[in-house]
């Protein structure tokens, strides 16, 4: 039985970190000038294409940050699929267009159903957006975060994510 926190007795919390983990240095090697070039090109192309370039701009930005982030002196690699990014972008545009058309034509029930459907899809969309995969150059493991609310006994790699190599990750 644990003493009551108000009683002033110190309570020792068990450490949740495994004792045999190794800390890897994290370093960002990018520069403001290099990122500005990526940003300005993305901005101009988004303006010229009226926003259609957005998925490609997001991918270029992610690639810049990943390739300039070093974990254990190895750069990360953005492996997001452009096709999935474009399809998600088109899906959101179509849902917004359907909502706007239903709103303009006075179909309040359809607007309400679309908003309820969108609210129901938020956890799935959030989980999909938060999943990521990275591979350190020279690493023997490709890891990904688990979907929101998932429970599994899958091995966890040194990056703190699910590991596809059986937990025997070796970082260069």
Residue 120 domain-assigned?
Answer: yes
Residue 171 domain-assigned?
Answer: no
pTM: 0.59
Residue 124 domain-assigned?
Answer: yes
Residue 104 domain-assigned?
Answer: yes
| Residue-level pLDDT at 41 | 97
User: What are the distances in angstroms from CA 129 to CA 53, 89, 117, 147?
Assistant: 18, 12, 18, 10
| Residue-level pLDDT at 114 | 86
Q: Is 133 helix (H, G, I), strand (E, B) or coil?
A: strand
Residue 37 domain-assigned?
Answer: no
| Residue-level pLDDT at 170 | 46
| Residue-level pLDDT at 80 | 81
Domain count, the chain: 1
Strand order in the sheet with 133-134: 133-134, 143-144, 162-163
Lookup result for tokens 């002033």: 8
What stretches of 5-102 adopt beta strand conformation (E)? Answer: 26-28, 69-71, 74-75
Residue 113 domain-assigned?
Answer: yes
- The CA radius of gyration of the chain, in Å to the nearest whole number, is 22
Containing structural domain, residue 110: 81-131
| Residue-level pLDDT at 125 | 74
Distance CA 68, CA 109 (A): 49
- H-helix or E-strand spanning residue 83: helix 82-104
Residue 166 domain-assigned?
Answer: no
| Residue-level pLDDT at 162 | 47
Q: What is the pLDDT along the chain (172 residues), one digit of tens a residue?
A: 445 555 555 455 555 555 677 788 889 999 999 999 999 999 999 999 999 999 999 999 999 999 999 988 889 888 888 898 898 889 889 888 988 898 899 888 988 988 888 888 888 777 776 665 444 444 444 455 555 555 555 544 444 454 444 444 444 3
User: What are the distances in angstroms from CA 17 to CA 23, 52, 120, 147, 166?
Assistant: 11, 44, 35, 21, 19
Residue 121 domain-assigned?
Answer: yes
Angle at alpha carbon of residue 74, lines to 15 and 33, rounded to 5°: 110
């Amino acid at each position: 039985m644990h003493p009551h926190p108000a009683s002033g007795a110190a309570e020792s919390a068990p450490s949740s970190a495994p004792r045999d983990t190794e800390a890897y240095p994290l370093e960002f090697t990018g520069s403001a000038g290099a990122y500005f070039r990526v940003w300005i090109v993305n901005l101009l192309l988004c303006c010229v294409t009226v926003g259609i370039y957005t998925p490609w701009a997001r991918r270029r930005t992610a690639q810049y940050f990943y390739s300039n982030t070093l974990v254990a002196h190895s750069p990360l690699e953005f492996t997001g699929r452009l096709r999935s990014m474009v399809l998600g972008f088109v899906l959101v545009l179509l849902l917004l267009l359907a909502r706007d058309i239903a709103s303009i034509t006075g179909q309040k029930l359809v607007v309400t159903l679309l908003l309820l459907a969108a609210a129901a899809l938020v956890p799935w969309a959030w989980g999909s957006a938060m999943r990521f995969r990275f591979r350190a150059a020279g690493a023997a493991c490709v890891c990904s975060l688990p979907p929101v609310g998932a429970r599994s006994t899958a091995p966890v790699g040194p990056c703190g994510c699910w590991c596809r190599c059986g937990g025997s990750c070796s970082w260069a």
